[in-house]
Amino acid sequence: MSRFTLRDSILATLLAALVLSAMPWLMSDFALALTLTCLMYAGLAVSWAMFCGATNYLSLATAAFFGMGAYVTAWGAETLAYGLAVLLGGLAAAVFAALVGAAVLHLRGAYFAVITFGLGELVRHGITYYEKAYAGTVGRVISDPPETVTIYHTVLLLTALAVVTALAVRASRLGLALRGIGSDEERARTLGVDTRRAKVLAFSLSAFFPGALGAAMAMRWTYIDPLSVFNPFIGFQTVLIAMVGGAHTILGPIASSVLFSLLTEYLRLQFPYLFLVILGLLLILLVLYLPGGLASLLDRWRWGKSRA
């Protein structure tokens, strides 16, 4: 990927988005739904890797950001325009991430993972309590949702934006600072990086996309409750996809989210009772034999070609 300039990569992303934007008129409903899932996970995994891949942090907060976005939509569905709800969902998650990040980003490894996981649960229970106590409900029906095509285009736009942002961050000083933090944080400080500021900024930026995607997807599900939108599996799945793809790359998580979504769907149809077992086994094999992710396959292939 490094052989392409930033401009080439952004152009390629926009071109791919343009092609994908025609799909609602070319695909069956089933294929379109599958593409939508691929796109959602691609957006989630790329934005996760934007921060975590470079810095070697393990965040399980994706579900929290996603759920917050979904609830912004649910609460604002009747008063806010759809586009505005999506934007606000992203901003809410970004502000939340900045506040939380300032408090817990000095933690590393398992501590950070556990704290971010706990955060999701905290927000979920907080919202459940609020809904029960003040709104007298647990779930919410979103009346008058936009057309599937509109939702598809929103998710496509957000995912393309996530990829472009990830590309720009990687090429920027912020990206260099994040890689330094991932390699040796104290060393980065002794070379002049305000590591706290860089981390909070990047964590907040990376939270915008899951927030906005949550807000968009809530419209598609039309009925949401805390358990479904703060589902920790969204967080785990995102981390797995990014890691299987190669979290230090951008193309890796994209490829892996397509592979994952298709594989899950295929296995679910072919082996309805065994599909989770098979998926689990595949994951274990991938992690054991391909620790650098799918992206490392590409590296190996290039290396092999250059030697031949």
Partner 1 sequence: MREPLLSAQGVSVRFGGLVAVDEVDLAVHAGELVGVIGPNGAGKTTFFHALSGILVPTSGRIVVVGDDLTGKSAHAFARHGIARTFQTPRVFKEMPAIDNIRFGLEFAGRTRKHAHDAFDEPEAILEFLGLADVAAVPAGGLTPSKQRLLEIGMALGARPRVLLLDEVAAGLTHTEVELTAQLIRRVRDELGLAVIWIEHAVRVLMDYVERVAVLHQGRKIADGDPRAVAKDAGVIEAYLGDEGEPAVEPTRKAA
- 237 or 249: whose CB is closer to partner 1? 249
Q: Min. distance of Cβ 177 from partner 1 in angstroms?
A: 7
Identity of the residue, 34 or 177, whose beta carbon is nearer to partner 1 in the bound complex: 177
Number of residues lying near partner 1 (CB under 8 A):
18
Least Å from the CB of residue 254 to partner 1: 21
Nearest distance in Å: CB 110, partner 1: 22
Query: Of residues 108, 125, 173, 300, which one binds partner 1 by CB under 8 A?
Result: 173
Is residue 292 a contact residue for partner 1 (CB under 8 A)? no
The backbone region for 167, taken as left when phi is positive above 0, alpha when psi lies in -120 to 50, beta otherwise, is alpha
- Min separation Cβ 176 and partner 1, Å: 6
- Taking the least distance from each CB to partner 1, the nearer of 161 and 166 is 166
Contact 56, 173 (CB under 8 A): no
Task: Count how many Cα atoms sit within 13 Å of the Cα of residue 109 in the half-sphere of its side chain.
Answer: 1
Distance in Å, CB of 107 to partner 1, minimum: 17
Window contacting partner 1 (CB under 8 A); options: 6-14, 78-86, 135-143, 169-177 = 169-177
CB of 180: closest distance to partner 1 in angstroms? Answer: 6
Nearer to partner 1 by Cβ, of 7 and 187: the residue is: 187
Q: How far is the CB of 167 from partner 1 (least distance, A)?
A: 17
Nearer to partner 1, 145 or 182 (CB): 182
* Tokens 């589902």 found at: 231
Binding mask 176-195 for partner 1 (x = CB under 8 A): xx-xx-xxx-xxxxxxxxxx
**Per-position DSSP letters for the chain, written without gaps between them:** -TTS-HHHHHHHHHHHHHHHTTGGGTS-HHHHHHHHHHHHHHHHHHHHHHHHHHHT-----HHHHHHHHHHHHHHHTTTS-HHHHHHHHHHHHHHHHHHHHHHHTT--HHHHHHHHHHHHHHHHHHHHHHIIIIIS-SSEE--SPPPHHHHHHHHHHHHHHHHHHHHHHHHSHHHHHHHHHHHHHHHHHHTT--HHHHHHHHHHHHHHHHHHHHHHHHHHH-EE-HHHHT-HHHHHHHHHHHHHH-TT-SHHHHHHHHHHHHHHHHHHHH-TTTHHHHHHHHHHHHHHH-TT-HHHHHHHHHHHHHH-
In the complex, the smallest distance separating the C-beta of residue 112 from partner 1, rounded to whole angstroms, is: 20
Which stretches of the chain bind partner 1, using CB under 8 A?
173, 176-177, 179-180, 182-184, 186-195
